[in-house]
Amino acid sequence: MDEHLKQALEIVKAQASVRNMTEEEITSMVKKLADDIKNISDGQFNADNESPVNIDPKKALKEKSVSCLECGKSFKILTKRHLAAHGLTTAEYREKWGYKKNTPLVCKSLQRERRNKMKKMKLWEKRTKS
């Protein structure tokens, strides 16, 4: 028996021991895992083959979180540092995903909180007095 198939069977066996699986699920999972293990061992597998995160850019900016469209993780703010990990600047990220140039990459509640704080500070009045 092929070594890749043995490894795939071990993984599926462990998975089947913790949840109910149909015969069809077991068969397709073994086949996919065996193929993936073979591709990885042959050096043909790369991260670009994985399916991209399927989030609608309009729905990524939520009330209490912002979802990164590159990796799918949720944050309150998409920082320059996080986007740099994906090899993007904030401008490139906005352009790639179809956001306007001035769209803040911040959750709506934090954006509202910051806006209210700035209104209370009234910095524009302090500058005119000096």
* Domain assignment of residue 126, yes or no: no
pLDDT band at 51 (very low <50, low <70, confident <90, very high): very low
* Domain assignment of residue 38, yes or no: yes
Task: Write out pLDDT tens, residues 56-94.
Answer: 888 889 999 999 998 888 899 999 999 999 899 999 999
Which pair of structure tokens corresponds to residue 22? 């149909």
Give the three-state DSSP class for 50. coil
* Domain assignment of residue 14, yes or no: yes
Residues 61 and 112 in one domain: yes
Is residue 49 predicted with pLDDT exceeding 50?
Answer: no
Is residue 126 predicted with pLDDT exceeding 60?
Answer: yes
Integer-rounded Cα Rg, in Å, for the chain is: 23
Domain count, the chain: 2
| 30-64: b (≥16 Cβ within 10 Å) or e | beebbeebbeeeeeeeeeeeeeeeeeeeeebbeee
Task: Write out pLDDT tens, residues 92-105.
Answer: 999 999 999 999 99
* Element (DSSP H or E) covering residue 66: strand 66-67
CATH number of the domain where residue 109 is located:
1.10.10.1550
* Domain assignment of residue 129, yes or no: no
CB 62 within 8 A of CB 107: yes
Residues 29 and 64 in one domain: no
Maximum C-alpha span of the chain: 84
Is residue 47 predicted with pLDDT exceeding 70?
Answer: no
* Nearest-angstrom CA–CA distance, 71 and 117: 31
* Domain assignment of residue 86, yes or no: yes
Indicate the pTM of the whole model: 0.54
How would you class 111 by CB atoms within 10 Å of its CB: exposed for 0-12, middle for 13-18, buried for 19 or more? middle
Range of the domain at 33: 3-49
Residues 76 and 97 in one domain: yes
> Mean per-residue pLDDT for 11-36?
86
